[in-house]
Homo-oligomer: A and B are copies of this chain.
Amino acid sequence: MEIDILKDFSFTPVEKSKIDTFDFENVQFGAKFTDHMLVCEYKNNAWQQAEIKPYAPIQLDPSARVFHYGQAIFEGMKAYKDVNDEIWLFRPEENFNRFNKSAVRLAMPEIDETIFLDGLKALINIEKEWVRKGLGNSLYIRPFMIATESGVIASPSNEFLFCILLSPAKSYYAGKIKVQIAEYFSRAANGGIGAAKAAGNYSAQFYPTKLAQEAGFNQIIWTDSTHTKLEESGTMNVFFRINDTIYTAPTSDRILDGVTRKSLIDLAKKEGYNIEVRPVLVDEIVEAAENGTLKEIFGAGTAAVINQIEAFSYKDKMYELPNMDNEGSYALDLKDKLTKIQNKLADDSFGWTVKI
């Protein structure tokens, strides 16, 4: 798709790119950004002209709603460059649709597809040198929206800022992780905002996660309000393999409808794995760990794709999982197949990848 930037978006280029000073070999996830960003204001009940302009600070009144009432949502996506230097997005419509679902739940205006998707394509076209080839390399994409109206009044803002930031990313092997099953803390309420990619969901996790880390764990597996069902791991969806079947919880108003999650479910089915989407009980996982039928647990999300879990703790008891890496790990196989589709190194029979 060709986009006439000058027609649909106002574009102000940087005077000098900082790409020469960027160390593509040593990339810290989400820490540094490309030369430009897309911004678009919402006011007078309408989205205004979107602008692509040099990455720069945002200036807001100290009483802006986002600072006081957390009215903010975001998305996480990636772009990949193939061997022919073509750049591809992975299921961008899914992120666009979820962004607007989050917007509704947070009483924010839905964004136009032109601004979100065409704007993203225009921005990446400008920044294409920032996308590096090769399995593991990607461009992390962060669309977000914040409430900008001033006034410390606990009601929805009438003014918003939509923005897209781009950050070069590299996959890294962080090792398998240890997790703690939540027995007291929760990330989401029944009838709450857990299914939205809302800013407030994340800050709620920081303190419990800090306590878990101080106790030697990497993440928390979040449970429902009765702490009997396993729902998410850290900021990822979570999958369990008992014998030869994979289980993951259905989405709900507490669980994010993850794009990696739904892609893995479809991919697993296509590859002939047994996979069941149904509530996963703490008790059955503990029992399976005790009787040796629990083979794998893994988190799934855009940033890490799949994160293998090697041990979990429940009621102060640690349960170690077997090492399946050389014995047909489902997690490793699915991760390999999905990342190859994303990087255009394998056939994309699902039609998930979208060329820019």
Contact = CB atoms under 8 A, between A and B. Distances in A.
A74 to B, nearest CB: 5
A193 interface: yes
B153 A30 contact: yes
Interface stretch (A11-19, A116-124, A182-190): A182-190
A152 B156 contact: no
Nearest to A204: B193
Interface string A256-283: 0000000000000000000000000000
Nearest to A157: B206
Interface in A284-341: none
Nearest to A67: B146
A235 interface: yes
A70 B182 contact: no
B199 A204 contact: no
B107 A207 contact: yes
Interface residues of A, number: 70
Interface in A141-174: 142, 144, 146-147, 150-156, 163, 165, 167
Contacts of A201: 70, 200
Interface stretch (A42-50, A51-59, A92-100, A243-251): A51-59
A191 B186 CA distance: 5
Nearest to A193: B204
B66 A66 contact: yes
Given A70-B200, A198-B70, A63 B207 contact: no
Given A70-B201, A198-B204, 19 more contacts: A30-B63, A37-B62, A57-B59, A57-B61, A58-B59, A58-B67, A67-B144, A68-B72, A68-B74, A68-B142, A70-B200, A72-B203, A105-B207, A152-B165, A152-B167, A155-B206, A192-B204, A198-B203, A225-B225
